[in-house]
Amino acid sequence: MTRTPTSRAQTPSAVELEIIRASLSGIVQEMQNALFRTGFSTIIRESQDASCAILDADGDVIAQHVVLPLHLGAFPACTAAVLRNFGDDIRDGDAFLINDPYEGGSPHAPDMAVITPAFHAGKLVGFCASIAHKGDIGGPVPGSCSGQAREVFNEGLQLPAVRYQRGYAAYGDVDRIIRANSRTPDLVLGDIRGQLGCARLGERRLCDLLEKFGDAKCSLAFQELGRIAEARIRAVVAGWADGEFTAERFVDDDGVELNKPIRIHVKATKVGDRISFDFSGSADQTRGPANIRPPLLRAACAYAVISLIDPGIFISSGVLRAFDVQSRPGSVLDPVHPAPVNTYNPTVHAIVDVIFAAIGHLVPDRARADGCGSRSIIIGGRTTSSGKGYVQYEIVGGGAGALGTGDGASGTTVNQSNAKIAPIEIIESEFPTRVLAFELIKDSGGAGQFRGGLGLRRRYLNLADARFSIRSTKHVIPAAGMAGGGPGRTGDILMRPDSPDCEHLPSRYADYPLQKGMVFELQTPGGGGFGDPFDRDPELVLADVQNGRVSPECAAESYGVWLTDEGGTWVIDAPLTDKLRSQDRTDQTSTDKIRRQI
């Protein structure tokens, strides 16, 4: 927003600044709630795969309700595309759509942004926006997320910034184009209207705020809130040790070259109150859809910095100004059009993990092991009752990495993947699917003084012929432990798990033919452990065994805690535990030797 000379009377007081800050938070929260309650698809109303934001007239975020942190980078890039294409012709009552990852900043084409300008007293004062995942926008597979896509043209309908409404009236042509390119057009258009409704709500609330305090005072407050966020980060960074820190992580594969892990490398340089992240050493852009665009790279860095400094910080573009990011054009983190990008999330998780690995030790109380990454399964077909197309899209978590202060959470989404697991009741009532099992996987958390979180097992019975796709990670390369902690268990996807014909699919796969009556099972990864497992309190190991999180065998082999069963109750055998923990741990047969002795 352009700065102009102001009088002292226009400068907000500390009390007014706090009221404006709380009001902005309330507005974006209300927008978010409205979207979740009016969404047509389970993706929005159940999994909550969407975010809302308010931006100033220059397209900088002044407030965001962070359900999905990556959208902090996506909102400015998408709004910049609107300003670039319509800057001289934006009017009250307009609405714009964009989902092109290269023209704007959408993580992938299914993430469609709806952006509306906010006018007060005839002047453009900002934008209200949301980004929400669409169940299907075309492409070769249901759900539009092909793990074998080789260019963005395989990823569904690509909309540059287009005008969706003028004078609050819809352009029907855009709706017809979207309808013609989706397997579930009613759901997609219904979700877009929900986004439009929450944006109009945001406009009204923002204008109420401007009416209360005045345009000039609010403009100064918006600038000051961004400055405070930037200054808060810089002040904390200034207390860290100066230096250069490097780390690397690997993504399983890109879905096309299955035996080729993807290197994500960072060189973090900290000098004074400034930190920079150089990812130039990362792999070249991939043939498959593991690439991400620079707006997501910056947002992933912002997420990691916020997590390390102050998870409660007020979210605005001021956060993005507090650090520097460098990437190499033509790399997996800065690909050249039309490189595919639709299964981007595993790469983003590797970015977050590598930043924590590089500088987490500078903030010991926030250091952590790697988590499970992210995954979604997509099943598409036609219902037997109506013949209409359906897309069952589920986001499923796993184990979080252990902290330096406690165990990792089990059965949860981690890092920037903050969406919810759809309830079984919803899945079974809306899709031809039955969930046969939904449980934690014993021994899947990495061993450590603090244990990694457990992964999930979710087993399904398919009730109609359909097409299956998965985009996942850490099925080959496990979540790494930290400070001597062990890795988490890897994930898996099994077709006909109890049959001699059982198949294990890659972590990215598209268009597997599901047959009616077929059973399949998703096993999600566990988080890495933190610290030496033999330093874990034996009582905590006993509690894990009693609660079904760790097996007695794992207690002995991984933690050096020997348990005996006394009348159906597990108890610690202190002498044997002491003996186990004093063994030469490079000798892999030490536990077997003690078993033979007793």
Q: Please state whether beta strands 323-326 and 274-278 pair in parallel, antiparallel, or not at all (unpaired).
A: parallel
Residue for token pair 């704007």: 104
The answer to whether position 241 is within a domain reads: no
CA 508 to each of CA 51, 70, 558: distance values in angstroms, whole numbers, following the listed order = 25, 21, 31
Mean pLDDT per segment of 10 residues, for the chain of length 598 residues? 54 95 97 94 93 97 87 96 96 98 95 97 97 95 93 96 95 94 96 97 98 96 96 97 97 95 98 97 98 97 95 94 98 98 95 96 93 95 76 95 96 89 93 96 98 98 96 96 97 96 95 96 98 97 97 96 92 94 68 52
> H/E element holding 52?
strand 50-56
Single-letter amino acid code for the residue at 111: D
One domain, residues 166 and 136: yes
Distance CA 195, CA 38 (A): 8
Question: How many Å apart are CA 206 and CA 214, to the nearest integer?
Answer: 11
Residue that has been written with the tokens 């892990």 in this structure: 261
In 3D, which of 253, 508, 477, 502 has the Cα closest to residue 377? 508
**421 and 563 housed in the same domain:** no
- How many residues are recorded in the chain? 598
Q: Which helix (H) or strand (E) holds 578?
A: helix 574-581
Same domain, yes or no: 113 and 87: yes
Domain contains 318: no
Q: Is 513 found in the same domain as 382? A: yes
Q: Are 378 and 454 in the same domain?
A: yes
CB atoms inside a 10 Å sphere around CB 5: 6
Listed residues 231, 260, 276: the one ending a domain:
231
Please identify, among 231, 249, 276, the residue that sits at the C-terminal boundary of a domain.
231
Torsion of CA 304, 309, 314, 316, to 10 degrees: -50
User: Within a domain: residue 343?
Assistant: no
CA distances from 12 to 7, 221, 224, 228 (A): 11, 6, 9, 14
Q: Please check whether residue 240 lies inside any domain of the structure.
A: no
Phi-psi region at 404: left, alpha or beta (left = phi > 0; alpha = psi -120 to 50)? alpha
Amino acid sitting at position 51? S
Q: What per-residue confidence (pLDDT) applies to 67?
A: 74
474 and 577: one domain?
Answer: no
Looking at the fold, whether 428 and 521 belong to one and the same domain comes out as: yes
The alpha-helical segments, DSSP class H, found in 382-537 are 424-430
At residue 586, the pLDDT reads: 62
Number of domain units in the chain = 3
DSSP strands (E only) in 102-218? 111-120, 123-133, 162-166, 169-170
Domain that holds residue 157: 5-231
174 and 196 part of one domain: yes
Residue 505: inside a domain: yes
272: nearest Cα among 314, 305, 235, 224: 235
Tell me the C-alpha distance between 311 and 297, whole Å. 19
Six-digit token string for 42: 């389970």
Cβ neighbours of residue 483 under 8 Å, at least 6 residues apart?
367, 404, 448, 530, 531, 532
Q: Please tell me whether residues 532 and 546 are part of one structural domain.
A: no
577 and 443 in a common domain: no
What is residue 587's predicted lDDT score, i.e. its pLDDT?
59
**237-257: string of b/e by CB count within 10 Å (b at 16+)?**
beebeeeebebebbbbbbbbe
- CB 448: neighbour CB atoms within 10 A? 32
Tell me the C-alpha distance between 345 and 36, whole Å: 22
Q: Are 126 and 59 in contact (CB under 8 A)?
A: no
Query: With contact defined as beta carbons under 8 Å apart, do 469 and 509 qualify?
Result: yes
What's residue 585's pLDDT?
67
Give the pLDDT score at 324: 98
What phi and psi, each to the nearest 5 degrees, are found at residue 437?
-155, 145
Contact 485, 369 (CB under 8 A): yes
Tokens 């075309």 identify what position?
138
In a domain, 440, yes or no: yes
If you ran DSSP here, which 8-state letter would residue 384 be given? T
Residue closest to 178 by CA, chosen among 198, 195, 202: 195
How far apart, in whole angstroms, are the C-alpha atoms of residue 95 and residue 474?
40
Is the CB of residue 485 less than 8 Å from the CB of residue 533?
yes
Contacts of 262 (CB under 8 A, 6+ apart): 250, 251, 252, 253, 254, 283, 286, 290, 332, 347, 350
What is the rounded CA–CA span in Å between residue 207 and residue 209?
5
Q: pLDDT at position 418, please?
A: 82
In the prediction, which pLDDT does 386 show? 65
Q: Are residues 117 and 178 in the same domain?
A: yes
Q: How far apart are CA 75 and CA 72, in angstroms?
A: 6
Determine, yes or no, domain membership for 329.
no
- For residues 229 and 281, what is the distance between their CA atoms, to the nearest angstrom? 30
Q: Of 483, 513, 536, which residue is a domain's last?
A: 536
User: How far, rounded to the nearest angstrom, does the alpha carbon of residue 182 sit from its chain's CA centroid?
Assistant: 24
Q: Contact, 151 vs 340, CB < 8 A?
A: yes
Centre a 10 Å sphere on the Cβ of residue 567 and count the other Cβ atoms it contains. 5
3-state secondary structure of 40: coil
User: What single string gives the DSSP state of each residue in 436-459?
Assistant: EEEEE-TT-SPPSSBPPPP-EEEE
Residue 376 shares a structural domain with residue 416: yes
**Minimal CA–CA distance to 131: which of 205, 223, 258, 43?**
43
In a domain, residue 109? The reply is: yes
